[in-house]
Amino acid sequence: MIQVYNSLTRKKEPFVPINPHHINMYVCGMTVYDYCHIGHARSLVAFDMINRYFRHRGFNMKFVRNITDIDDKIIARANERGITIQELTAEFIDKMNEDCEALNILKPDQEPRATEHIAGMLEMIGKLIEKGLAYPAENGDVYYRVREFKEYGKLSNQSIDELRSGERVAVDQFKEDPLDFVLWKHAKEGEPYWDSPFGKGRPGWHIECSVMSAEELGTHFDIHGGGMDLKFPHHECEIAQSEGCHDHPMANYWMHNGFINIDNEKMSKSLGNFFTIREILEIYPAEVLRFFILNAHYRSHINYSDETITQAGNGLRRLYTALSQAPETIPTLPESHPLMDKFYAAMDDDFNSPLAISILYEAATAYNKTGEAIYYTLLKELGGVLGLLQQAPEAFLQGDSNDLGIDIDAMILARNEARANKEWAESDRIRDELTALGIALEDKDGKTTWRKIS
């Protein structure tokens, strides 16, 4: 049985879906006003891995990842650039999709946008007002009464009094309590707005996910996920809204991925250590970034540096090197095998991808030593469960050779001609020149292949 760490109960629990063999999972997606950064990559890859594994294990999945396409930052960036909000969000949705494709992220089954669900948000806000859990303020905003939801703080394991004394809460003269949060923001001049019973305005951030998850998956579903930074206040507020409105649990399991630090410091634009996905992919192959992320448990914090991602690249190269010598006949994945059993045991234990990857190394080592085709299959197929090792090995190992400024194939041909003529010094000179350029040659069965080694 698959064990899942539930952030709500703060322990691992057997995973039991509401409906057998079917899983509904909602993950908070992007606010589309800028390029996705490496922290977004962590969440995208982590929940893609979880989504893939559930599907591989025979579950039918409905995986929903939302898009926030109305927000203070979106409005500010559109105004700054002198374009419409629709133009800005369309641009960065396209860029997000390009990053996801590069990282081999499966498309979600549904990708709702906040602006498509305004009616549902207004309906939920109305219900919360009727139940006394929300109130319209004099300035035209609508707020949630946090103290009226007695379980507020259960996800972050904080009491309301602790939150009141420990959190920096924006002073707002129109709130009944500093902890109350906004459900509906009144329209300021020049801002986009929707008509509502409370006046012209737009939704607060938290209400978006409560409504989109309910309309796509129902008011009670299996898994709600996102980055650890969303646990409080975003997910805490979602619980208050959804459970306050519907009077039953929102999600059975809450899952949160850890942070990425840069050179052992928290990523921050002010520190100058802020990297977008596409900036990293200008230097490293996308699959190396994916492999780097999966080499750490999804709940742990990981450190990104030139050294750690280079190590990941070397590890992935080792696996592709094993796959570069395909057997004449490739068997199908067996129903059972000791390495498969170990792989599944690792992944069944709260998706322990680094342990699963260690089993891929075992398969590669066994294939290199024995040449038995079953190990090739295990390496390729189990790698695919993690969204890895699906390129042609030569394409990965050779990488982008255009930047070397040489014709590698012509140099190999010249070397082979020198060898045929027993001009060993010339043959060695060409090999040494290629080695100095980070190119390794391998002679086997009368053919010479090459791969990048740095």
- Contact, 241 vs 213, CB < 8 A? no
Q: What angle do CA 384, 386, 391 make, to 5 degrees?
A: 45
Q: Is the dihedral of CA 124, 187, 238, 96 positive or negative?
A: positive
Q: Is 381 labelled a binding residue?
A: no
Q: Is 248 labelled a binding residue?
A: no
**What type of residue sits at position 439?**
I
Q: Is 28 labelled a binding residue?
A: yes
Q: What angle do CA 122, 127, 133 make, to 5 degrees?
A: 110
Q: Is 95 labelled a binding residue?
A: no
**How far is residue 362's CA from residue 385's CA, in Å, rounded to a whole number?**
16
Nearest CA-CA partner of 260 in 6, 4, 40? 40
Q: What angle do CA 372, 53, 207 make, to 5 degrees?
A: 160
Structure tokens at 52: 């893939």
Structure tokens at 24: 């509904």
Relative orientation angle of helices 286-294 and 38-56, to the nearest 10 degrees: 70
**What type of residue sits at position 440?**
A
- Contact, 339 vs 359, CB < 8 A? yes
Q: Is 100 labelled a binding residue?
A: no
Binding-site residue ranges for ATP: 269
Binding-site residue ranges for Zn(2+): 28, 209, 234, 238
Binding-site residue ranges: 28, 209, 234, 238, 269
